[in-house]
Amino acid sequence: MDFSLSPEHQMTQKMVRDFVQKEIAPVIKEYDRRQEPIPFMLKRMGELGILGLPFPVRYGGQGMDYLAWGLACEELEAMDTHLRVVMSVHTGLSAMSIFQWGTEEQKQKFLVPLAKGEKIGCGAFTEPGMGSDVAAMRTNAKRDGDHYLLNGEKMWISLASKADLALVTVKTDPSSPKPSSALSTFIVDLHSEGVKTGDIHGKLGVRAGSTGWISFTDVKVPVENRLGEEGEGFKITMSAFDHGRYTVASGATGIIRAALEASVKYAKTRTTFGKPISEHQLIQEKIAKMSQDYEIARLLYYQVGWLKNAGKRCTRETSFAKKFATEASFSAANEAIQIHGAYGFSDEYDVERYLRNSKGAMIYEGSSEIQTLIQAGYALGERADKPLRCEAPAYDPEFWQN
């Protein structure tokens, strides 16, 4: 197995790192304090091709592979989590699901502008009173001739008030004996009549990110905007989560690295008892653990990227990567604050923001508890991957780059 990065991978890392250092670093504290999105962020990510990194050129993308996508997420979240969240919901939940499940007509109509950054997408799955239990959702759609009427509400939706379209999973067959067969997924124009959106404020972390709600009142959705067949909504949603969890895992790896780098820098300059605190063994223990966790998290998401490139299902491996990296990022940020002492308790230093941001990833895109159940299911032989009608495409350089 070759763990080296190609020149294209290194180019992606440098491009994204340059963007966040030059354009985001000078303003991130201000917008985090104001709890407002950075106004130019989405446009710039589109202009630089970041939003369309892992899609074929023919669909408006940059023709890069799945590992490059993960590398970009690491660099983005090493600066701030809200940047990676965009890659999770716009690129992962929304655009990647259309790439996997959409017809050619849907790809041309929706994927191309998403990959180019001309349109912004989000994934609308969670509802009030319904978190991890996807099959319990109450938002519904009823067929009415050549369209569906959509009613209900989605909550905790990243980019809800910024997106042009949303991938929405709803109940279309309430009488189905299998809850998972009762769901269908639609591509919904959020500028349609009957759609309302709003923002949620007062969040613990990801304060510069846009998080909100979407309500639907008799929203007309054309039949041709249904993604997949009726009753495939659960499968589509679960495959979307696989894509999203990959970005969460690779992004959380960036927080570990950022916490490590900040701790090393501070420990070498802060002096106590006549010597730098980096010479104290208890400080070294904390830094060694961060370094170890970074390497493990990085290798776990590299493995997922490799499996995705090969076109192999990797729900189990993605779950490992997501759970480990998010929990390790919270631990690293917590220890970084401890190393910084009283200064770590102030937003003068970035480590307090890392801690606030890292907590959310242990909840969204499938909580740590859900990941534990997934992993136990595989280990006990009670869970197995069944073939999907539309598997995620394997990376083919000739197809992707033409």
d(CA 137, CA 169): 9
Strand 195-199 relative to strand 183-189, pairing? unpaired
Phi, psi dihedral angles at 377 (to 5 degrees) = -60, -45
Euclidean distance between CA atoms 201 and 212, whole angstroms: 8
Which of the residues 75, 365, 382, 391 is marked catalytic?
365
Question: What is the identity of the amino acid at 198?
Answer: G
Minimal CA–CA distance to 214: which of 118, 291, 128, 143? 128
Q: Kindly tell me the sign of the dihedral angle through the C-alpha atoms of 87, 261, 13, 371.
A: negative
Among 320, 328, 321, which residue's Cα sits nearest to residue 379?
Answer: 320
Terminal-to-terminal C-alpha distance of the chain: 27
User: How far apart (Å, rounded) are the C-alpha atoms in residues 301 and 262?
Assistant: 22
| Distance between CA atoms of residues 19 and 37, nearest Å | 16
Contact call for residues 357 and 256 (beta carbons, < 8 A): no
Give the whole-angstrom CA distance, residue 224 versus residue 138. Answer: 22
- Quick one: CA dihedral 6, 71, 265, 283, positive or negative? negative
Strands 195-199 and 165-171 turn out to be unpaired
Cβ–Cβ < 8 Å for 123, 364: no
Question: 79-107 in b/e burial notation, b at 16+ Cβ within 10 A?
Answer: bbbbbbbbbbbbbbbbbbbbbbbbeeebb
36 is catalytic: no
- Quickly list H helices, 80-179: 81-86, 96-101, 104-106, 112-116
Angle of helix 368-379 versus helix 315-340 axis, rounded to 10: 140
CA distance 139 to 186: 12
Question: Which positions are annotated as active-site residues?
Answer: 365
